[in-house]
Amino acid sequence: KQEVTQIPAALSVPEGENLVLNCSFTDSAIYNLQWFRQDPGKGLTSLLLIQSSQREQTSGRLNASLDKSSGRSTLYIAASQPGDSATYLCAVLDDKLIFGTGTRLQVFP
């Protein structure tokens, strides 16, 4: 059974720092991996989707990498801002989308 783990569960950093969020999964037979952002009391916003054949995807200050063989993905956020404060979720697609429990990020001024 596919399991997705995100470490750390919570992270607090000063504005301007570059940071890395981690996601690991137990079964490498995935179609893709998707990173989401969730603001308190809100829905999920898709940030990046990496197909299984890809190694990374970039969008603005965000860069996500995928290493299927080791069952890992990282989300790199450059020059963090207070507006980046949210919970970040990763999810892998095998026959269904399986979510991690998220990393709650706080960026303080």
Partner 1 sequence: NAGVTQTPKFRVLKTGQSMTLLCAQDMNHEYMYWYRQDPGMGLRLIHYSVGEGTTAKGEVPDGYNVSRLKKQNFLLGLESAAPSQTSVYFCASRPLVTHEQFFGPGTRLTVL
List residues binding partner 1 (CB under 8 A): 4, 31-32, 34, 36, 41-46, 49, 89, 91, 93, 96-97, 99-102
CB of 21 to partner 1, least distance (A): 15
The Cα 107–Cα 28 span in angstroms is 32
Nearer to partner 1, 86 or 89 (CB): 89
Q: Tell me whether strands 103-108 and 10-14 are parallel, antiparallel or unpaired.
A: parallel
Q: Quick one: three-class SS letters along 11-77?
A: EEEECCCCEEEEEEECCCCCCEEEEEEECCCCCEEEEEEEECCCCEEEECCEEEEEECCCCEEEEEE
CB of 22 to partner 1, least distance (A): 15
Nearer to partner 1, 57 or 65 (CB): 57
Which DSSP state fits 95? S
CB of 44 to partner 1, least distance (A): 4
Nearer to partner 1, 47 or 77 (CB): 47
Nearer to partner 1, 80 or 100 (CB): 100
